[in-house]
A and B are shown apart, each in its own frame.
Chain A
Amino acid sequence: MLNEEVRNQFPILDQEVNGHSLVYLDSAATSQKPQQVIDVMNSYYSGYNSNVHRGVHTLGTRATEGYEGSREKVKNFINANSTKECIFVRGTTTAINTVAHSYGREHLSEGDEIVLTKMEHHSNIIPWQQVAKLTGAKLKYLPLQEDGTISLDDVRTAVTSNTKIVAMTHVSNVLGTINPIKEVAQIAHDNDAVIVVDGAQAVPHMKVDVQDLEVDFYAFSGHKMCGPTGIGVLYGKQSLLENMEPVEFGGEMIDFVDLHDSTWKELPWKFEGGTPIIAGAVGLGAAIDFLEEIGMEAIEKHEEEVVHYAIEQMEKIDGITIYGPKERAGLVTFNLDDVHPHDTATALDSLGIAVRAGHHCAQPLMKELQATATARASFYLYNSKQDVDLLVDGLRKTKEYFGDVF
Protein backbone atom coordinates (compact mmCIF):
# COMPACT_ATOMS: atom_id res chain seq x y z
CA MET A 1 0.00 0.00 0.00
CA LEU A 2 1.13 3.55 -0.65
CA ASN A 3 1.48 5.50 2.54
CA GLU A 4 0.25 8.71 4.08
CA GLU A 5 3.21 10.56 2.56
CA VAL A 6 1.61 10.35 -0.88
CA ARG A 7 -1.66 11.75 0.37
CA ASN A 8 0.13 14.61 2.15
CA GLN A 9 1.36 15.90 -1.17
CA PHE A 10 -2.19 16.86 -2.14
CA PRO A 11 -2.93 20.11 -0.29
CA ILE A 12 -6.64 20.09 -1.19
CA LEU A 13 -7.22 16.90 0.77
CA ASP A 14 -6.24 18.61 4.01
CA GLN A 15 -9.53 20.39 4.64
CA GLU A 16 -12.86 20.00 6.36
CA VAL A 17 -16.09 19.78 4.41
CA ASN A 18 -19.30 20.20 6.36
CA GLY A 19 -17.42 19.75 9.59
CA HIS A 20 -15.69 16.50 8.59
CA SER A 21 -12.30 15.74 7.10
CA LEU A 22 -12.70 15.58 3.34
CA VAL A 23 -12.86 12.08 1.86
CA TYR A 24 -12.51 12.57 -1.88
CA LEU A 25 -13.96 9.63 -3.82
CA ASP A 26 -14.59 11.24 -7.19
CA SER A 27 -11.26 10.87 -8.96
CA ALA A 28 -12.85 9.19 -11.98
CA ALA A 29 -14.49 12.57 -12.62
CA THR A 30 -11.30 14.48 -11.95
CA SER A 31 -8.28 13.74 -9.81
CA GLN A 32 -6.71 16.10 -7.29
CA LYS A 33 -3.34 17.72 -7.97
CA PRO A 34 -0.14 17.27 -5.97
CA GLN A 35 1.78 20.34 -4.80
CA GLN A 36 4.54 19.56 -7.25
CA VAL A 37 2.20 19.97 -10.25
CA ILE A 38 0.74 23.18 -8.83
CA ASP A 39 4.27 24.52 -8.27
CA VAL A 40 5.42 23.72 -11.80
CA MET A 41 2.41 25.51 -13.28
CA ASN A 42 2.99 28.45 -10.98
CA SER A 43 6.59 28.69 -12.03
CA TYR A 44 5.58 28.56 -15.68
CA TYR A 45 3.24 31.52 -15.26
CA SER A 46 5.49 33.45 -12.92
CA GLY A 47 8.76 32.60 -14.64
CA TYR A 48 8.58 31.89 -18.37
CA ASN A 49 5.06 32.30 -19.75
CA SER A 50 5.46 33.02 -23.44
CA ASN A 51 4.19 31.78 -26.78
CA VAL A 52 5.93 28.75 -28.27
CA HIS A 53 7.68 27.99 -31.54
CA ARG A 54 7.95 31.56 -32.78
CA GLY A 55 9.56 33.88 -30.27
CA VAL A 56 13.26 34.38 -30.79
CA HIS A 57 13.48 35.68 -27.25
CA THR A 58 14.63 33.76 -24.21
CA LEU A 59 11.23 33.27 -22.59
CA GLY A 60 9.84 31.95 -25.87
CA THR A 61 12.62 29.41 -26.03
CA ARG A 62 12.05 28.30 -22.43
CA ALA A 63 8.31 27.95 -23.04
CA THR A 64 8.96 25.91 -26.17
CA GLU A 65 11.36 23.68 -24.26
CA GLY A 66 8.78 23.21 -21.52
CA TYR A 67 6.01 22.41 -23.98
CA GLU A 68 8.02 20.06 -26.19
CA GLY A 69 9.74 18.57 -23.15
CA SER A 70 6.33 17.49 -21.89
CA ARG A 71 5.61 15.84 -25.20
CA GLU A 72 8.77 13.81 -24.78
CA LYS A 73 7.54 12.76 -21.32
CA VAL A 74 4.18 11.74 -22.77
CA LYS A 75 5.91 9.72 -25.46
CA ASN A 76 7.96 7.80 -22.90
CA PHE A 77 5.05 7.42 -20.51
CA ILE A 78 2.84 5.61 -23.03
CA ASN A 79 5.78 4.20 -25.00
CA ALA A 80 4.89 5.82 -28.30
CA ASN A 81 7.38 5.34 -31.09
CA SER A 82 7.90 9.06 -31.62
CA THR A 83 6.76 12.47 -30.32
CA LYS A 84 5.17 12.93 -33.74
CA GLU A 85 2.52 10.49 -32.54
CA CYS A 86 1.59 12.51 -29.44
CA ILE A 87 -0.77 15.37 -30.14
CA PHE A 88 -1.75 17.76 -27.39
CA VAL A 89 -5.49 18.36 -27.32
CA ARG A 90 -8.01 19.68 -24.81
CA GLY A 91 -8.90 16.24 -23.48
CA THR A 92 -10.22 12.82 -24.39
CA THR A 93 -13.37 14.26 -25.96
CA THR A 94 -11.41 16.46 -28.35
CA ALA A 95 -9.06 13.59 -29.15
CA ILE A 96 -11.88 11.24 -30.16
CA ASN A 97 -13.65 13.98 -32.10
CA THR A 98 -10.43 14.66 -33.99
CA VAL A 99 -10.18 11.02 -35.07
CA ALA A 100 -13.87 10.87 -35.94
CA HIS A 101 -13.86 14.03 -38.01
CA SER A 102 -10.53 13.48 -39.70
CA TYR A 103 -9.96 9.74 -40.08
CA GLY A 104 -13.65 8.85 -39.83
CA ARG A 105 -14.98 11.21 -42.46
CA GLU A 106 -12.18 10.27 -44.83
CA HIS A 107 -12.53 6.50 -44.53
CA LEU A 108 -16.20 5.81 -43.87
CA SER A 109 -18.92 5.49 -46.44
CA GLU A 110 -22.39 4.02 -46.85
CA GLY A 111 -22.59 0.48 -45.48
CA ASP A 112 -19.39 0.66 -43.43
CA GLU A 113 -19.59 -0.20 -39.76
CA ILE A 114 -18.27 1.31 -36.58
CA VAL A 115 -18.23 -1.27 -33.79
CA LEU A 116 -18.53 -0.05 -30.21
CA THR A 117 -19.56 -1.33 -26.80
CA LYS A 118 -22.57 -0.47 -24.69
CA MET A 119 -20.32 0.69 -21.88
CA GLU A 120 -18.90 3.70 -23.72
CA HIS A 121 -18.84 7.17 -22.26
CA HIS A 122 -20.85 9.68 -24.32
CA SER A 123 -17.57 11.04 -25.64
CA ASN A 124 -16.92 7.74 -27.42
CA ILE A 125 -20.47 7.43 -28.77
CA ILE A 126 -21.63 10.79 -30.02
CA PRO A 127 -18.65 11.63 -32.27
CA TRP A 128 -19.32 8.31 -34.05
CA GLN A 129 -23.05 8.97 -34.28
CA GLN A 130 -22.30 12.31 -35.91
CA VAL A 131 -19.81 10.85 -38.37
CA ALA A 132 -22.22 8.01 -39.16
CA LYS A 133 -24.90 10.56 -40.03
CA LEU A 134 -22.50 12.37 -42.34
CA THR A 135 -21.12 9.31 -44.09
CA GLY A 136 -23.96 6.79 -44.04
CA ALA A 137 -21.93 4.39 -41.92
CA LYS A 138 -23.69 2.30 -39.27
CA LEU A 139 -23.05 1.88 -35.57
CA LYS A 140 -22.93 -1.66 -34.27
CA TYR A 141 -22.94 -2.27 -30.52
CA LEU A 142 -21.34 -5.28 -28.86
CA PRO A 143 -23.58 -6.82 -26.24
CA LEU A 144 -22.71 -6.49 -22.59
CA GLN A 145 -22.43 -9.74 -20.66
CA GLU A 146 -24.17 -10.29 -17.34
CA ASP A 147 -21.04 -9.41 -15.35
CA GLY A 148 -20.38 -6.17 -17.23
CA THR A 149 -17.65 -7.44 -19.53
CA ILE A 150 -17.54 -8.03 -23.27
CA SER A 151 -16.75 -11.38 -24.83
CA LEU A 152 -14.06 -11.78 -27.47
CA ASP A 153 -16.32 -14.22 -29.30
CA ASP A 154 -18.85 -11.41 -29.68
CA VAL A 155 -16.08 -9.15 -30.95
CA ARG A 156 -15.07 -11.80 -33.51
CA THR A 157 -18.68 -12.04 -34.69
CA ALA A 158 -19.33 -8.31 -34.77
CA VAL A 159 -16.14 -7.18 -36.50
CA THR A 160 -16.37 -8.03 -40.20
CA SER A 161 -14.90 -6.87 -43.46
CA ASN A 162 -17.46 -4.04 -43.36
CA THR A 163 -15.97 -2.75 -40.11
CA LYS A 164 -13.71 0.23 -40.58
CA ILE A 165 -13.43 1.42 -36.98
CA VAL A 166 -13.66 -0.24 -33.57
CA ALA A 167 -14.18 2.33 -30.79
CA MET A 168 -13.75 1.03 -27.27
CA THR A 169 -13.00 2.22 -23.79
CA HIS A 170 -9.98 0.70 -22.08
CA VAL A 171 -11.59 0.98 -18.64
CA SER A 172 -15.30 1.63 -18.07
CA ASN A 173 -15.96 4.76 -16.01
CA VAL A 174 -19.08 3.11 -14.56
CA LEU A 175 -18.34 -0.60 -14.22
CA GLY A 176 -14.59 -0.47 -13.83
CA THR A 177 -14.37 -3.22 -16.48
CA ILE A 178 -10.92 -3.50 -18.03
CA ASN A 179 -11.39 -4.39 -21.69
CA PRO A 180 -8.98 -6.76 -23.51
CA ILE A 181 -7.72 -4.03 -25.83
CA LYS A 182 -4.75 -5.95 -27.21
CA GLU A 183 -6.91 -8.88 -28.30
CA VAL A 184 -9.59 -6.60 -29.76
CA ALA A 185 -6.93 -4.62 -31.66
CA GLN A 186 -5.76 -7.90 -33.18
CA ILE A 187 -9.29 -8.77 -34.31
CA ALA A 188 -9.77 -5.27 -35.73
CA HIS A 189 -6.52 -5.49 -37.67
CA ASP A 190 -7.35 -8.95 -39.01
CA ASN A 191 -10.35 -7.26 -40.60
CA ASP A 192 -8.44 -4.21 -41.83
CA ALA A 193 -10.16 -1.97 -39.34
CA VAL A 194 -8.53 0.50 -36.94
CA ILE A 195 -9.11 0.63 -33.21
CA VAL A 196 -9.71 3.89 -31.33
CA VAL A 197 -9.36 3.58 -27.56
CA ASP A 198 -10.77 5.87 -24.88
CA GLY A 199 -8.06 5.65 -22.26
CA ALA A 200 -9.35 8.35 -19.91
CA GLN A 201 -9.87 5.90 -17.04
CA ALA A 202 -6.84 3.73 -17.80
CA VAL A 203 -3.77 5.92 -18.22
CA PRO A 204 -4.05 7.48 -14.73
CA HIS A 205 -4.23 4.09 -13.06
CA MET A 206 -2.12 1.52 -14.90
CA LYS A 207 0.89 1.18 -17.15
CA VAL A 208 -0.28 1.72 -20.72
CA ASP A 209 2.03 0.80 -23.58
CA VAL A 210 0.49 1.78 -26.90
CA GLN A 211 2.97 -0.26 -28.92
CA ASP A 212 2.39 -3.37 -26.89
CA LEU A 213 -1.39 -2.92 -27.19
CA GLU A 214 -0.95 -2.28 -30.93
CA VAL A 215 -3.66 0.35 -30.89
CA ASP A 216 -4.10 2.77 -33.77
CA PHE A 217 -5.47 5.70 -31.77
CA TYR A 218 -5.49 6.20 -28.02
CA ALA A 219 -7.01 9.18 -26.16
CA PHE A 220 -6.62 10.39 -22.58
CA SER A 221 -6.99 13.45 -20.34
CA GLY A 222 -4.49 15.17 -18.09
CA HIS A 223 -6.88 16.18 -15.34
CA LYS A 224 -7.71 12.61 -14.36
CA MET A 225 -4.01 11.81 -13.83
CA CYS A 226 -2.99 14.54 -11.36
CA GLY A 227 -2.55 17.11 -14.12
CA PRO A 228 -4.50 20.26 -14.93
CA THR A 229 -7.81 20.50 -16.79
CA GLY A 230 -7.81 21.48 -20.45
CA ILE A 231 -4.97 19.23 -21.61
CA GLY A 232 -5.10 15.75 -23.04
CA VAL A 233 -3.36 13.61 -25.58
CA LEU A 234 -4.30 11.98 -28.83
CA TYR A 235 -1.88 9.22 -29.67
CA GLY A 236 -2.02 7.98 -33.24
CA LYS A 237 0.23 5.74 -35.31
CA GLN A 238 2.44 7.94 -37.41
CA SER A 239 1.53 6.18 -40.65
CA LEU A 240 -2.14 7.01 -40.03
CA LEU A 241 -1.66 10.56 -38.78
CA GLU A 242 0.56 11.43 -41.75
CA ASN A 243 -2.34 10.81 -44.12
CA MET A 244 -4.98 12.59 -42.08
CA GLU A 245 -6.25 16.12 -42.58
CA PRO A 246 -6.31 18.49 -39.61
CA VAL A 247 -9.73 19.46 -38.23
CA GLU A 248 -8.74 22.87 -36.88
CA PHE A 249 -7.13 25.41 -39.12
CA GLY A 250 -5.39 28.65 -38.31
CA GLY A 251 -2.23 29.80 -36.63
CA GLU A 252 0.52 27.49 -35.46
CA MET A 253 -0.42 24.54 -37.69
CA ILE A 254 0.56 25.96 -41.08
CA ASP A 255 3.61 25.74 -43.25
CA PHE A 256 2.93 28.14 -46.15
CA VAL A 257 -0.16 30.26 -46.50
CA ASP A 258 -1.23 31.64 -49.84
CA LEU A 259 -4.37 33.57 -50.71
CA HIS A 260 -6.22 30.49 -51.93
CA ASP A 261 -4.45 27.53 -50.44
CA SER A 262 -2.12 26.56 -47.64
CA THR A 263 0.06 23.70 -46.52
CA TRP A 264 0.41 22.19 -43.07
CA LYS A 265 3.26 21.79 -40.68
CA GLU A 266 4.59 18.31 -40.07
CA LEU A 267 3.40 16.07 -37.26
CA PRO A 268 2.39 16.59 -34.53
CA TRP A 269 1.86 20.33 -35.02
CA LYS A 270 -0.51 20.12 -37.97
CA PHE A 271 -3.15 18.98 -35.47
CA GLU A 272 -2.42 21.76 -32.98
CA GLY A 273 -4.03 24.84 -34.51
CA GLY A 274 -3.89 28.06 -32.50
CA THR A 275 -1.74 28.94 -29.52
CA PRO A 276 -1.33 25.59 -27.83
CA ILE A 277 -2.18 24.62 -24.26
CA ILE A 278 1.28 25.49 -22.98
CA ALA A 279 0.64 25.72 -19.24
CA GLY A 280 -1.53 22.60 -19.45
CA ALA A 281 1.19 20.63 -21.22
CA VAL A 282 3.81 21.77 -18.73
CA GLY A 283 1.48 20.72 -15.90
CA LEU A 284 0.83 17.36 -17.54
CA GLY A 285 4.59 16.81 -17.78
CA ALA A 286 4.88 17.48 -14.05
CA ALA A 287 2.03 15.05 -13.37
CA ILE A 288 3.81 12.34 -15.37
CA ASP A 289 7.00 12.95 -13.37
CA PHE A 290 4.99 12.64 -10.17
CA LEU A 291 3.28 9.40 -11.22
CA GLU A 292 6.54 7.89 -12.44
CA GLU A 293 8.34 8.69 -9.19
CA ILE A 294 5.73 6.62 -7.39
CA GLY A 295 5.52 4.08 -10.18
CA MET A 296 2.46 3.02 -12.14
CA GLU A 297 2.72 -0.55 -10.89
CA ALA A 298 2.66 0.61 -7.28
CA ILE A 299 -0.34 2.83 -8.02
CA GLU A 300 -2.19 0.00 -9.75
CA LYS A 301 -1.48 -2.37 -6.89
CA HIS A 302 -2.55 0.17 -4.29
CA GLU A 303 -5.86 0.84 -6.02
CA GLU A 304 -6.47 -2.85 -6.47
CA GLU A 305 -6.14 -3.37 -2.72
CA VAL A 306 -8.39 -0.41 -1.92
CA VAL A 307 -11.10 -1.43 -4.39
CA HIS A 308 -11.10 -5.08 -3.31
CA TYR A 309 -11.42 -3.96 0.28
CA ALA A 310 -14.22 -1.55 -0.71
CA ILE A 311 -16.23 -4.25 -2.46
CA GLU A 312 -15.72 -6.67 0.41
CA GLN A 313 -16.96 -4.10 2.94
CA MET A 314 -19.74 -2.63 0.80
CA GLU A 315 -21.17 -6.06 0.01
CA LYS A 316 -21.93 -6.44 3.72
CA ILE A 317 -24.44 -3.59 3.59
CA ASP A 318 -28.00 -4.89 3.31
CA GLY A 319 -29.86 -3.79 0.21
CA ILE A 320 -26.87 -2.56 -1.77
CA THR A 321 -26.47 -3.27 -5.48
CA ILE A 322 -22.93 -3.17 -6.83
CA TYR A 323 -22.51 -2.99 -10.59
CA GLY A 324 -19.66 -4.40 -12.65
CA PRO A 325 -17.28 -7.35 -12.69
CA LYS A 326 -15.18 -8.71 -9.83
CA GLU A 327 -11.88 -7.89 -11.49
CA ARG A 328 -11.99 -4.19 -12.03
CA ALA A 329 -10.26 -0.85 -11.90
CA GLY A 330 -10.48 1.35 -8.80
CA LEU A 331 -14.10 2.37 -8.72
CA VAL A 332 -17.39 1.04 -7.37
CA THR A 333 -20.76 2.01 -8.81
CA PHE A 334 -23.68 1.15 -6.57
CA ASN A 335 -27.20 1.87 -5.39
CA LEU A 336 -28.87 1.54 -2.01
CA ASP A 337 -32.38 0.10 -2.09
CA ASP A 338 -35.06 2.76 -1.62
CA VAL A 339 -32.58 5.62 -1.53
CA HIS A 340 -32.09 7.62 -4.70
CA PRO A 341 -28.37 8.07 -5.52
CA HIS A 342 -28.70 11.88 -5.35
CA ASP A 343 -29.98 11.54 -1.84
CA THR A 344 -27.14 9.15 -1.04
CA ALA A 345 -24.60 11.61 -2.44
CA THR A 346 -26.09 14.52 -0.50
CA ALA A 347 -26.11 12.51 2.72
CA LEU A 348 -22.49 11.44 2.21
CA ASP A 349 -21.51 15.01 1.38
CA SER A 350 -22.88 16.14 4.70
CA LEU A 351 -20.28 13.78 6.18
CA GLY A 352 -17.52 15.27 4.04
CA ILE A 353 -17.50 12.33 1.60
CA ALA A 354 -17.51 13.29 -2.09
CA VAL A 355 -19.04 10.72 -4.46
CA ARG A 356 -20.64 11.12 -7.85
CA ALA A 357 -24.33 10.49 -8.53
CA GLY A 358 -26.13 10.47 -11.84
CA HIS A 359 -25.75 8.75 -15.18
CA HIS A 360 -21.96 9.30 -15.40
CA CYS A 361 -22.20 10.39 -19.03
CA ALA A 362 -23.16 6.86 -20.00
CA GLN A 363 -26.92 6.92 -20.59
CA PRO A 364 -27.00 3.86 -22.89
CA LEU A 365 -25.19 1.86 -20.21
CA MET A 366 -27.60 3.07 -17.51
CA LYS A 367 -30.45 1.77 -19.66
CA GLU A 368 -28.64 -1.54 -19.96
CA LEU A 369 -28.26 -1.71 -16.18
CA GLN A 370 -31.91 -0.71 -15.81
CA ALA A 371 -30.95 2.13 -13.52
CA THR A 372 -31.86 5.75 -14.12
CA ALA A 373 -28.98 6.84 -11.98
CA THR A 374 -26.30 5.33 -9.76
CA ALA A 375 -23.78 6.48 -7.18
CA ARG A 376 -20.07 5.98 -7.75
CA ALA A 377 -17.09 5.99 -5.44
CA SER A 378 -13.79 6.14 -7.32
CA PHE A 379 -10.35 5.77 -5.82
CA TYR A 380 -6.88 6.99 -6.58
CA LEU A 381 -3.40 6.78 -5.15
CA TYR A 382 -4.27 9.10 -2.24
CA ASN A 383 -7.22 7.05 -0.98
CA SER A 384 -6.83 4.57 1.83
CA LYS A 385 -8.76 1.72 3.40
CA GLN A 386 -9.72 4.22 6.08
CA ASP A 387 -11.53 6.25 3.40
CA VAL A 388 -13.42 3.06 2.53
CA ASP A 389 -14.35 2.57 6.19
CA LEU A 390 -15.70 6.13 6.36
CA LEU A 391 -17.67 5.54 3.16
CA VAL A 392 -19.17 2.30 4.43
CA ASP A 393 -20.02 3.90 7.75
CA GLY A 394 -21.60 6.84 5.88
CA LEU A 395 -23.64 4.46 3.73
CA ARG A 396 -24.96 2.65 6.80
CA LYS A 397 -25.95 5.98 8.34
CA THR A 398 -27.60 7.03 5.09
CA LYS A 399 -29.65 3.87 5.00
CA GLU A 400 -30.65 4.35 8.59
CA TYR A 401 -31.55 8.01 8.04
CA PHE A 402 -33.74 7.40 5.02
CA GLY A 403 -35.17 4.32 6.68
CA ASP A 404 -36.11 6.43 9.69
CA VAL A 405 -37.82 9.23 7.84
CA PHE A 406 -39.98 6.80 5.95
Chain B
Amino acid sequence: MSFNNLDTLYRQVIMDHYKTPRNKGKLEGDHITVELNNPTCGDRIDLQLKVEDGVVQDAKFEGEGCSISMASASMMTQVIIGKSVDDAVKISHMFSEMMLGHEVDTSEYKLEDLGDIQALQGVSKFPARIKCATLAWKAMEQGVEKEQ
Protein backbone atom coordinates (compact mmCIF):
# COMPACT_ATOMS: atom_id res chain seq x y z
CA MET B 1 0.00 0.00 0.00
CA SER B 2 1.31 3.38 -0.97
CA PHE B 3 0.56 5.07 2.31
CA ASN B 4 3.67 3.96 4.25
CA ASN B 5 4.85 7.52 4.72
CA LEU B 6 1.54 8.40 6.35
CA ASP B 7 2.33 6.10 9.22
CA THR B 8 4.93 8.62 10.44
CA LEU B 9 2.04 11.00 10.97
CA TYR B 10 -0.82 8.74 11.92
CA ARG B 11 0.60 6.44 14.56
CA GLN B 12 -1.68 3.90 16.14
CA VAL B 13 -1.57 5.74 19.45
CA ILE B 14 -2.72 8.97 17.79
CA MET B 15 -5.66 7.22 16.22
CA ASP B 16 -6.48 5.70 19.58
CA HIS B 17 -6.60 9.13 21.22
CA TYR B 18 -8.67 10.46 18.33
CA LYS B 19 -11.18 7.68 18.56
CA THR B 20 -11.25 7.45 22.37
CA PRO B 21 -10.26 10.87 23.60
CA ARG B 22 -9.20 11.13 27.24
CA ASN B 23 -10.61 13.93 29.40
CA LYS B 24 -13.24 14.91 26.89
CA GLY B 25 -16.21 16.70 28.40
CA LYS B 26 -16.98 19.56 30.74
CA LEU B 27 -15.56 20.39 34.17
CA GLU B 28 -17.88 21.05 37.06
CA GLY B 29 -17.35 23.86 39.55
CA ASP B 30 -14.84 26.69 39.34
CA HIS B 31 -12.53 26.56 36.41
CA ILE B 32 -10.84 28.52 33.65
CA THR B 33 -12.19 28.23 30.13
CA VAL B 34 -10.29 28.98 26.94
CA GLU B 35 -11.79 28.71 23.50
CA LEU B 36 -9.38 28.76 20.58
CA ASN B 37 -9.92 28.38 16.85
CA ASN B 38 -7.56 27.66 14.08
CA PRO B 39 -9.00 30.28 11.74
CA THR B 40 -7.51 28.84 8.58
CA CYS B 41 -9.11 25.45 8.92
CA GLY B 42 -11.92 25.63 11.44
CA ASP B 43 -10.44 23.44 14.18
CA ARG B 44 -11.88 24.47 17.51
CA ILE B 45 -11.02 23.60 21.10
CA ASP B 46 -12.83 24.52 24.27
CA LEU B 47 -10.41 23.79 27.10
CA GLN B 48 -11.27 23.89 30.77
CA LEU B 49 -8.64 23.90 33.48
CA LYS B 50 -8.89 23.68 37.25
CA VAL B 51 -5.77 25.23 38.77
CA GLU B 52 -5.22 25.30 42.54
CA ASP B 53 -2.08 26.36 44.37
CA GLY B 54 -0.18 26.56 41.13
CA VAL B 55 -1.03 23.00 40.17
CA VAL B 56 -3.27 21.82 37.34
CA GLN B 57 -5.78 19.74 39.27
CA ASP B 58 -7.97 18.81 36.35
CA ALA B 59 -8.45 19.46 32.65
CA LYS B 60 -11.15 18.65 30.15
CA PHE B 61 -11.79 19.65 26.57
CA GLU B 62 -14.43 19.73 23.91
CA GLY B 63 -14.09 20.67 20.30
CA GLU B 64 -13.95 19.57 16.74
CA GLY B 65 -11.11 19.10 14.35
CA CYS B 66 -8.89 16.65 12.59
CA SER B 67 -7.32 13.58 14.16
CA ILE B 68 -4.07 15.40 14.93
CA SER B 69 -5.69 18.33 16.73
CA MET B 70 -8.07 16.21 18.79
CA ALA B 71 -5.47 13.55 19.65
CA SER B 72 -3.02 16.25 20.68
CA ALA B 73 -5.65 17.81 22.96
CA SER B 74 -6.37 14.46 24.55
CA MET B 75 -2.68 13.74 25.12
CA MET B 76 -2.03 17.23 26.42
CA THR B 77 -4.67 16.98 29.14
CA GLN B 78 -3.24 13.62 30.16
CA VAL B 79 0.25 15.04 30.56
CA ILE B 80 -0.55 18.24 32.42
CA ILE B 81 -3.00 16.98 35.04
CA GLY B 82 -1.10 16.92 38.31
CA LYS B 83 1.76 19.06 37.02
CA SER B 84 2.60 22.51 38.31
CA VAL B 85 1.69 25.39 36.04
CA ASP B 86 5.40 26.07 35.51
CA ASP B 87 6.04 22.51 34.46
CA ALA B 88 3.00 22.45 32.20
CA VAL B 89 4.30 25.54 30.38
CA LYS B 90 7.79 24.02 30.19
CA ILE B 91 6.40 20.87 28.63
CA SER B 92 4.39 22.97 26.21
CA HIS B 93 7.59 24.71 25.11
CA MET B 94 9.28 21.34 24.69
CA PHE B 95 6.34 20.29 22.56
CA SER B 96 6.64 23.40 20.36
CA GLU B 97 10.32 22.70 19.82
CA MET B 98 9.49 19.12 18.95
CA MET B 99 6.92 20.30 16.40
CA LEU B 100 9.45 22.62 14.79
CA GLY B 101 11.79 19.67 14.45
CA HIS B 102 14.29 21.31 16.82
CA GLU B 103 16.38 19.50 19.37
CA VAL B 104 14.37 19.34 22.57
CA ASP B 105 15.85 20.38 25.90
CA THR B 106 15.47 17.25 28.00
CA SER B 107 17.35 18.46 31.10
CA GLU B 108 14.21 18.38 33.24
CA TYR B 109 11.80 16.13 31.42
CA LYS B 110 12.71 13.27 29.16
CA LEU B 111 10.46 12.75 26.20
CA GLU B 112 9.76 9.22 27.30
CA ASP B 113 8.37 10.59 30.56
CA LEU B 114 5.82 12.58 28.65
CA GLY B 115 3.75 9.63 27.62
CA ASP B 116 1.88 9.52 24.39
CA ILE B 117 2.83 12.94 23.05
CA GLN B 118 6.05 11.48 21.69
CA ALA B 119 3.87 9.84 19.07
CA LEU B 120 3.21 13.28 17.61
CA GLN B 121 6.87 13.73 16.71
CA GLY B 122 6.12 12.76 13.11
CA VAL B 123 3.89 15.84 12.69
CA SER B 124 7.03 17.97 12.38
CA LYS B 125 7.56 16.41 8.95
CA PHE B 126 4.14 17.71 7.80
CA PRO B 127 4.46 21.51 8.14
CA ALA B 128 0.84 22.13 7.16
CA ARG B 129 -0.31 20.10 10.16
CA ILE B 130 1.85 21.60 12.93
CA LYS B 131 -0.83 24.17 13.75
CA CYS B 132 -3.31 21.35 14.30
CA ALA B 133 -1.04 19.75 16.87
CA THR B 134 -0.21 22.93 18.77
CA LEU B 135 -3.76 24.33 19.10
CA ALA B 136 -4.59 22.63 22.40
CA TRP B 137 -1.23 23.55 23.87
CA LYS B 138 -1.67 27.20 22.99
CA ALA B 139 -5.08 27.09 24.67
CA MET B 140 -3.49 25.58 27.77
CA GLU B 141 -0.79 28.25 27.93
CA GLN B 142 -3.41 30.98 27.60
CA GLY B 143 -5.47 29.33 30.31
CA VAL B 144 -2.74 29.14 32.92
CA GLU B 145 -1.71 32.68 32.06
CA LYS B 146 -5.23 33.81 32.92
CA GLU B 147 -4.88 32.17 36.30
CA GLN B 148 -1.63 33.94 37.14
Q: Which residues of A contact B (CB under 8 A)?
A: 18, 20, 340-343, 346-347, 350-351, 357-359, 363, 366, 372-373, 397, 400-402, 405-406
Contact = CB atoms under 8 A, between A and B. Distances in A.
23 contacts: A340-B67, A341-B66, A342-B65, A343-B66, A346-B6, A346-B9, A346-B128, A346-B129, A347-B3, A350-B2, A351-B3, A357-B41, A358-B40, A358-B42, A366-B42, A372-B43, A373-B41, A373-B42, A373-B43, A400-B1, A401-B3, A402-B67, A405-B12
B3 A406 contact: no
> 9 closest Cβ contacts across the A-B interface?
A342-B66, A340-B66, A358-B41, A405-B15, A373-B42, A359-B42, A372-B42, A372-B64, A401-B3
Q: Is the interface of B mostly helix, strand, loop or mixed?
A: mixed
Given A357-B41, A358-B40, A342 B1 contact: no
A350 B41 contact: no
Contacts of B19: 406
Interface of B: 1-3, 5-6, 9-10, 12, 15, 19, 40-44, 64-68, 126, 128-129, 132
Given A18-B5, A342-B41, 7 more contacts: A350-B2, A350-B3, A350-B6, A359-B42, A366-B42, A373-B41, A400-B1
Nearest to B9: A346
Contact of B1 (A18, A340, A401): A401
A340 B65 contact: yes
Given A359-B42, A372-B42, A406-B15, A342 B5 contact: no
A231 to B, nearest CB: 24
A343 B123 CA distance: 12
A373 B42 CA distance: 6
B28 to A, nearest CB: 26
Contacts of A405: 10, 12, 15
A99 to B, nearest CB: 25
- For B6, B15, B67, B68, which residue has the most chain A Cβ atoms within 10 angstroms? B6
A406 B19 CA distance: 7
Contacts of B12: 405
B1 A343 contact: no
Contacts of A351: 2-3
Nearest to A400: B1
Given A346-B128, A372-B44, A397 B66 contact: no
Contacts of A402: 10, 15, 67
A397 B5 CA distance: 14
Contacts of B5: 18, 350
Contacts of B132: 342
Contacts of A401: 1, 3, 6, 10
A372 to B, nearest CB: 5
Nearest to B44: A372
A343 B15 CA distance: 11
Contacts of B67: 340, 343, 402
Contacts of B44: 372
Contact of B68 (A341, A342, A347): A342
A397 B1 CA distance: 8
A400 B129 CA distance: 21
Nearest to A18: B5
Contacts of B15: 402, 405-406
Contacts of A347: 3, 6
Contacts of B129: 342, 346
Contacts of A358: 40-42
A80 to B, nearest CB: 35
Nearest to A338: B19
Nearest to A393: B2
Contacts of A340: 65-67
A397 B3 contact: yes
A394 B112 CA distance: 35
Nearest to B38: A358
Contacts of A341: 66
Nearest to A406: B19
A359 B123 CA distance: 22
B121 to A, nearest CB: 16
Nearest to A359: B42
A388 to B, nearest CB: 18
A401 B10 CA distance: 10
A386 B100 CA distance: 37
A359 B41 contact: yes
B50 to A, nearest CB: 27
Contact of B2 (A342, A366, A372, A397): A397
A355 to B, nearest CB: 12
Nearest to A371: B42
